[in-house]
Amino acid sequence: MKLATYKDGSRDGQLVVVSSDLTTAHHASAIASRLQQVLDDWSFLSPQLHDLARTLDEGRARHAFPFDPRMCMAPLPRACRAVEVQLGDEPGGGDALAWQPLPGDGLLGACDEVTLAGPAATLAVAPRWIVLSGELPVGASPEQAQDSVRLVGAGLQWQQQDAACPRPWLSLAPVLMTPDALQAGERGEGRGRLALSLVPEGLPTPSAPAQPSPPIGPLLARLARARGLRAGTLLALGPAAQPLGEAERVVLAALAPRGQIPLGTLEVGLRRLRRD
């Protein structure tokens, strides 16, 4: 199942179900109007959304319409808690990993422009795996944590090392998908074999090395060790951010082994504020 949020003038947007091939969509308002509702009542609402997704894939949805990523907000526009994990040589969640809170109150959509308040030389960017969890109790095991994964996606983390904007912020790919959709899309080739490919357009450099998706259970279990997790907690996983230079647009795609792009593409333009 794949979910997106369409712009409707509100802060939380309108939840839509998207077909497996990202060609069509259907409003989910008869089931839930926004994604946080689904995360809060997953056991009851997600089966209904799965049924709608199946109907959409079979071409039987009466009010389907063409899916347009330009209409998308971040799939979850506002997260109750967002945490970054910089992955190094210990993807299982060792103490050497860098953890920091992220502002989750204004997540950006895949085609939303990023405004730079400082010099371009101060901007850094990094690809991120995005994981949304369900409720987890204090001290949950890695197995419990893995079972709590509700949705996975991809994003870009922006960091401007400038006094005007010292905190990082996130852009998210158009859709999030359930772990079962990830496995089905890979047709038995192995769980979690998507890789992120980052292209800073306008630069003479090639795309950044693809980043494979990491194991999630140990990382979520560590995050839940002291205070548990609330439904809708967002985990952003990836390498340290790298300087972007003078690029005017950045493209990110999560690539499957056979070349599919199951989460859609982020195409983010950069706008620099004029300083008179």
Digit-coded pLDDT (tens) for 196-218: 887 766 444 434 445 556 678 99
Structure confidence at residue 93 as a pLDDT band (50, 70, 90): very low
β-partners of residue 176 are 3
Using the predicted structure, report yes or no on whether residue 110 has a pLDDT greater than 90.
Answer: yes
**Are residues 73 and 8 in contact, defined by beta-carbon separation less than 8 angstroms?**
no
Verify that 127 and 246 share a domain, yes or no: yes
Verify that 146 and 81 share a domain, yes or no: yes
pTM value is 0.88
| Residue 204 confidence (pLDDT) | 41
- Residue located via tokens 């799965």: 50
Verify that 89 and 194 share a domain, yes or no: yes
**How far is the C-alpha of 256 from the C-alpha of 246, rounded, in Å?**
29
Using the predicted structure, report yes or no on whether residue 135 has a pLDDT greater than 90.
Answer: yes
| Residue 80 confidence (pLDDT) | 92
| Domain C-terminal end among 38, 70, 102 | 70
| Residue 229 confidence (pLDDT) | 94
Using the predicted structure, report yes or no on whether residue 191 has a pLDDT greater than 60.
Answer: no
Tokens representing 7?
């712009």
| Residue 194 confidence (pLDDT) | 73
Verify that 92 and 214 share a domain, yes or no: yes
Domain of 17 in residue numbering reads as 2-70
| Residue 184 confidence (pLDDT) | 57
SS3 per residue for 127-149: EEEEEEECCECCCCCHHHHHHCE
Given the DSSP bridges, would you call strands 114-116 and 249-255 parallel, antiparallel or unpaired? unpaired
Helix (H, G, I), strand (E, B) or coil at 256: coil
| Residue 259 confidence (pLDDT) | 73
Verify that 152 and 84 share a domain, yes or no: yes
**How far is the C-alpha of 7 from the C-alpha of 21, rounded, in Å?**
21
| Residue 205 confidence (pLDDT) | 43
Supply the mean pLDDT for the chain. 84
| Residue 99 confidence (pLDDT) | 83
Verify that 41 and 105 share a domain, yes or no: no
Structure confidence at residue 258 as a pLDDT band (50, 70, 90): confident
Structure confidence at residue 125 as a pLDDT band (50, 70, 90): confident
Q: What is the pLDDT of residues 68-88, one digit of tens each?
A: 999 999 999 999 999 998 876
Verify that 235 and 104 share a domain, yes or no: yes
| Residue 94 confidence (pLDDT) | 45
CATH number, domain containing residue 202: 3.90.850.10
**Are residues 255 and 197 in contact, defined by beta-carbon separation less than 8 angstroms?**
yes
Cβ contacts of 48-51, under 8 Å, gap ≥ 24: 49/1, 49/3, 49/17, 50/1
Using the predicted structure, report yes or no on whether residue 129 has a pLDDT greater than 70.
Answer: yes
What is the dihedral angle through the alpha carbons of 158, 159, 160, 165, rounded to the nearest 10 degrees? 90
Q: What is the pLDDT of residues 12-41, one digit of tens each?
A: 999 999 999 999 999 999 999 999 999 999
pLDDT (mean) for 133-149: 94
Tally the domains of the chain: 2
| Domain C-terminal end among 70, 105, 124 | 70
| Residue 153 confidence (pLDDT) | 93
Verify that 89 and 220 share a domain, yes or no: yes
Cα 59 to Cα 14, 26, 205, 217, 263, distances in angstroms: 22, 11, 42, 35, 20
